[in-house]
């Protein structure tokens, strides 16, 4: 699959490396000149994977956006034509810092681009858990929301390709806000309640 990554910092960089390893074609849409973080990533995955944001989007059917939430609208407007493409939203509005006038970044994406298909995923756990999904003998689970079932099937596979054990469907676009609250639940436990970043969620069943 051809995947454009827009926002290639902690989250985008971790997923780029995992998806390349899984055999996907990953193209990074980055601002020029490349930031120090992107220069480091380029030494790891190859400079030839870096191009402008619209050129990356043009070549790919799937777009991961992992930029800071306050930059969400600017980033989305810079994508070029996204008609028919699947957008994965990994962003979170944390403590009110996000796109003005929107409850979630996914809503801001849908309002400011042509694509009608947003799946919110990869936002509910730390980037360290994307770099390494393993806890002893087990791998973490992941969660996603969005209206389009086919797109969710594809994103579930991308979560598994990144090393997660399962990616559970939390519901439609009406669950975007719940997904951001769930992300804040992890952030709260990790940062405010002192559990640290090396923990994550797994669904147990019987």
Ligand X SMILES: NC(=O)c1ccc[n+]([C@@H]2O[C@H](COP(=O)([O-])OP(=O)(O)OC[C@H]3O[C@@H](n4cnc5c(N)ncnc54)[C@H](OP(=O)(O)O)[C@@H]3O)[C@@H](O)[C@H]2O)c1
Phi, psi of 91 (to 5 degrees): -90, 160
Cα distance between residue 153 and residue 161, in whole Å: 12
Cα distance between residue 96 and residue 41, in whole Å: 29
Phi, psi of 133 (to 5 degrees): -90, -5
Nearest to 104 by CA among 113, 114, 94: 94
Choices 4-12, 154-162, 173-181, 198-206 (CB under 6 A): range interacting with ligand X: 4-12
Asked if residue 69 binds ligand X (CB under 6 A), the reply is: yes
Is the CB of 9 or the CB of 54 nearer to ligand X? 9
Choices 42-50, 84-92, 158-166, 167-175 (CB under 6 A): range interacting with ligand X: 84-92
Is the CB of 149 or the CB of 196 nearer to ligand X? 196
Is the CB of 60 or the CB of 66 nearer to ligand X? 66
Instruction: Report which residue's Cβ sits closest to ligand X.
Output: 9
- Print the binding letters for residues 86-105 with ligand X: x by CB under 6 A, - otherwise: ----xxx-x-----------
Asked if residue 123 binds ligand X (CB under 6 A), the reply is: yes
Asked if residue 74 binds ligand X (CB under 6 A), the reply is: yes
Cα distance between residue 158 and residue 4, in whole Å: 13
Give the count of residues interacting with ligand X (CB under 6 A): 25
Asked if residue 75 binds ligand X (CB under 6 A), the reply is: yes
> What percentage of the chain's residues is helix, strand, coil (to nearest 5)?
40, 20, 40
Residue 33 and residue 57 in contact, taking contact as beta carbons nearer than 8 Å: no
CB atoms within 10 A of CB 160: 16
User: Which is it for the CA torsion 153, 155, 156, 160, positive or negative?
Assistant: positive
Minimum distance, C-beta of residue 129 to ligand X, in the bound complex (Å):
8
Choosing from 37, 59, 154, 201, the residue that interacts with ligand X (CB under 6 A) is 37
| Interface residues toward ligand X, by CB under 6 A | 7-12, 30-31, 35, 37-38, 66-69, 71, 74-75, 90-92, 94, 123, 126-127
């Amino acid at each position: 699959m051809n995947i454009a990554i827009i926002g290639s910092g902690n989250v985008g960089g971790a997923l780029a490396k995992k998806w390349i390893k899984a055999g996907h074609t990953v193209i990074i849409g980055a601002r020029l000149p490349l930031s120090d973080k992107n220069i480091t990533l380029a030494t790891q995955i190859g400079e030839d994977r870096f191009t402008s944001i619209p050129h990356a989007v043009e070549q790919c059917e799937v777009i991961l956006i992992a930029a800071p939430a306050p930059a969400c609208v600017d980033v989305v407007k810079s994508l070029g034509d996204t008609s028919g493409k699947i957008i994965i939203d990994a962003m979170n509005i944390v403590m009110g810092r996000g796109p003005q006038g929107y409850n979630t970044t996914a809503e801001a994406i849908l309002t400011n681009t042509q694509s009608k298909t947003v799946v919110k995923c990869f936002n509910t756990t730390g980037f360290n858990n994307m770099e390494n999904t393993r806890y002893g003998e087990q791998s973490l689970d992941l969660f996603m929301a969005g209206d389009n079932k086919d797109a969710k099937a594809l994103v579930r596979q991308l979560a598994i390709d990144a090393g997660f054990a399962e990616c559970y469907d939390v519901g439609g676009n009406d669950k975007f806000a719940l997904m951001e609250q769930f992300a804040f639940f992890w952030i709260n436990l990790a940062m405010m309640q002192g559990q640290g970043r090396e923990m994550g969620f797994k669904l147990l069943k019987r």
